[in-house]
Amino acid sequence: MADTYAVLLNDDEPLDLRVAAEAMAEVLGFATADVLQLLGLRSGILIEGLDHERARICAGSLQHEGISVRVVPDAKVVELPELLTLTAARVLDEGLEFLGDGKHGVASWNELVWIDLVHVHNVAQEKFDDWKVVKSGGGRMNVNRYTNQRAVSRWPPHVDIVSYEPWLLLRIPQDGFQFATTGLKVHENRKQNLNALCIAVASRAPDISLGPGMQWFRDGSPPRENRVPGDAVYRNSLRWRLTNLFLETA
C-alpha cells in the first residue's frame, strides 16, 4: 500500500480560510465551499491521506498564497493518546499521581511533554422552569408551570497534560475534580485551584511544552485560557501541536 501524506501549517499565524480553501480546491478536485467547510473543522493539519504528488502540489499552491506549510508522511502525524478524565491527583516528588476513569498511576515529571489550559466550546441541553397561561371556563386564567429545555452555549475549562510514558492524555476539569487531593494549598474558588495546579505541574516537569493557554506561565501575565470553537477543532489542533513537537525533537 502506497504511503500517504498530510499538509501541515508551520506556525500559529492567523489563517484566512477562504484563501486556503481556494488554493486547495482545484488540486483536490472539490468545490471551494466544500474545502472551506472541511477547514472549518481543522486547525494546523489542513488535510491528510494524499498521495505525495498531490500533497506537494497542494502545499505549493498554499505557499504561493503566502501560507507557510509543509508535507509530512501520515505515519508521522501523531494520534492522540488515551484520554483519562481525572477525578483526583496528587503532586508527588517523583511525578503526578492520577486517578480517573477507573485507572490509577503515576506520571513521572520527566515524562510529561505537554500542558495547556483550555476552554472548548460546546452546546449542552439545560432544563429550566417555564410557565404557560391557559384559559379555563368562565374566562378565568390559570398559569401552569412545567419544565422545558434549551440549548446553552458553554466554555467548560480544563487542563490537558500529555505523558509520553505512559502515553496518556490526562484531563483535569475545573468542575468535578477534587482539588483537595493534590496536596497543594486550596484556594477560594475552582478557577484559582486549576491555575495553581497548572503552575505546580509546569514548574516541576523539566521537558514540558506549554500550549497557547499556558503562555502566561512563561511571561508572568495573568492566566488566559486557550479558547477553541469546538472539540473537533481542538483535537485536530492538539494532534498538530504534538506532531510538530515530536518532529522538532526527532
CA distance 234 to 229: 8
Q: What is the mean pLDDT of the chain?
A: 90
Of residues 125 and 45, more confidently modeled: 45
For the stretch 171-180, pLDDT in tens is: 999 999 999 9
d(C-alpha 232, C-alpha 38), whole Å: 11
pLDDT band for position 141 (cuts 50, 70, 90): low
Whole-angstrom distance, CA of residue 60 vs CA of residue 12: 19
pLDDT tens-place string over residues 187-232 = 989 999 999 999 999 999 999 999 999 999 998 898 888 999 889 9
Beta strands in the chain (DSSP E): 5-9, 45-50, 69-73, 82-91, 95-100, 103-108, 112-120, 122-135, 141-154, 157-163, 168-173, 209-210, 226-228
Q: Which residue has the higher pLDDT, 136 or 185?
A: 185
Residue 174, beta-bridge partner list: none
pLDDT at site 220: 86
pTM of the model: 0.85
Checking if the pLDDT of 148 tops 80, the result is: no
At residue 138, does pLDDT exceed 80?
no
Tell me which DSSP letter residue 205 carries. -
Pick from 204, 102, 224, 221: nearest CA to 161 = 204
Which pLDDT tens digit goes with each residue over 1-30? 679 999 999 999 899 999 999 999 989 999
When pLDDT is cut at 50, 70 and 90, the band that residue 137 belongs to is low
pLDDT value at residue 139: 62
Domains and their CATH numbers in the chain:
5-76 (3.30.1390.10), 82-122+155-249 (2.30.29), 124-153 (no CATH)
List C-alpha distances in Å: 138 to 135, 142, 215: 9, 11, 68
How large is the average pLDDT for residues 46-51?
Answer: 96
What pLDDT does residue 140 have? 66
Distance CA 227, CA 213 (A): 8
pLDDT band of residue 249 (cuts 50, 70, 90) is confident
8 A C-beta contact, residue 217 and residue 115: no
pLDDT at 34 over 60: yes
pLDDT in tens, 50-96: 999 999 999 999 999 999 999 999 999 999 999 999 999 999 999 99
